[in-house]
Structure 1
């Protein structure tokens, strides 16, 4: 007689709801169109503060219970006050957060218990481009590296598959690796 015990995995992700959303979006694809927003106010010098709250999704406007803020600035070596991370550092943290959340969701769906997930992200940028010193040097990152340290009840092959699936479905990875139409205008 074989006794089968089911291991309960809890990585804090409601995969049943996510799978249910996929079914609902199959029936009503227009509900899957979301518009997220951030409002940025200049504070002083190179310092600014971003407020994030309302968004459009599921065919209607939504407002969160709390407005989230993200401050940004530049480091003292650029004659700034260094009160917050730089905008490029915020992009790196967005990539790390998106990939890490994806790892948790995929692990939950695949029945893999996580104990630790850490993403270490580095981006190389030549500031001569930003400073207008050389038109052939781009303003943004020319290279970004992400390294994961993951402790889980899984083989190395399974963990690599988690990371690969997270990368495949990451909105921020997509933003950084594919062209995106960005329009800048005055109100």
Structure 2
């Protein structure tokens, strides 16, 4: 009788990922990345952002293609609703980062995923950004992330996947810890 172990197929190349981690451990200067986005005003509150390339592994890299993201405000704000709001992009980034982490951790732990759905919700009191009440914060008052995960794993193992993803998520860290932001201007 042969004992065959099935390998989870979640679409994550864990061998390459772990190999990259080991290579970066040996050359930590290559682990210093700079991510970039540019945004151009279109009209009203409508903007179009582009992501083309980034710096990492000691050099410049280009994505396979330029990615474009339209942002705007909804019609209830007297805008044209030509894209998601910028704060919704923050939620999209958090969901994408955490979910990618869940897939990678599940693959590494040989847990077969069948579906992963994240639902995110963030409250905001507009009195802050509208200048009605200077005591009200401009940003979210909190973010709730709920996962519905179907996998060949126990509830405890699934909770551990989510916890490990959260622990290693760059976007979770950016949102939950203070990050220095410098804004400069130039006149064209």
Rounded Cα–Cα distance in structure 1 between residues aligned with 2:84 and 2:72: 6
Give 2:90's aligned residue: 91
Give 2:81's aligned residue: 82
Report the alpha carbon displacement of residue 128 of structure 1 after superposing the two structures with TM.
Answer: 0.8
Rounded Cα–Cα distance in structure 1 between residues aligned with 2:144 and 2:165: 15
- What whole-Å deviation, never above 9, does each CA across 1:23-66 have from its counterpart, x for those lacking one? 11111000000000000000000000000011000000111230
Rounded Cα–Cα distance in structure 2 between residues aligned with 1:111 and 1:33: 29
The runs of at least 4 consecutive aligned structure 1 residues that moved more than 2 Å come to none
C-alpha root-mean-square deviation of aligned residues, in Å? 0.8
1:23-172 alignment to 2 at 5 Å?
Answer: 23-172=22-171
Rounded Cα–Cα distance in structure 2 between residues aligned with 1:34 and 1:10: 29
Rounded Cα–Cα distance in structure 2 between residues aligned with 1:134 and 1:78: 18
Paired residue secondary structure (2:64): coil
Give 1:11's aligned residue: 10
- What whole-Å deviation, never above 9, does each CA across 1:83-135 have from its counterpart, x for those lacking one? 11100001001101110000000000000000000000000011110111111
Aligned residues: 186
Gaps spanning 5+ residues in structure 1: where? none
TM-score with structure 1 setting the length: 0.97
Rounded Cα–Cα distance in structure 2 between residues aligned with 1:65 and 1:98: 19
Report the alpha carbon displacement of residue 13 of structure 1 after superposing the two structures with TM.
Answer: 0.4
Rounded Cα–Cα distance in structure 2 between residues aligned with 1:171 and 1:65: 22
Give 1:177's aligned residue: 176
TM-score with structure 2 setting the length: 0.97
Rounded Cα–Cα distance in structure 2 between residues aligned with 1:20 and 1:32: 13
